[in-house]
Amino acid sequence: MVKVRTDACPACEKRHKKRTAEEQKDLLVRLKKAEGQIRGIEKM
């Protein structure tokens, strides 16, 4: 589960988007793919 900061400054609060569970899952999949690609490049 992803934690959301609640102590952000007022200007930053406008930049956050409420995401559904499916959107969060999709973002985590994208992040893990990117992380895997970076690790692969690192091992080259």
Rg (CA), the chain: 15
Task: Spell out a b/e string for 10-38, using b for 16 or more CB atoms within 10 Å of the CB, else e.
Answer: eeeeeeeeeeeeeeeeeeeeeeeeeeeee
23 and 2 Cβ atoms separated by less than 8 Å: no
Q: Is the Cα dihedral 22, 25, 31, 33 positive or negative?
A: negative
For residue 2, the model assigns a pLDDT of 60
Domain boundaries, the chain: 19-43
pTM, to two decimals: 0.59
The tens place of each residue's pLDDT in the chain, 44 residues long, gives: 566 666 667 777 677 788 999 999 999 999 999 999 999 999 99
41 and 33 Cβ atoms separated by less than 8 Å: no
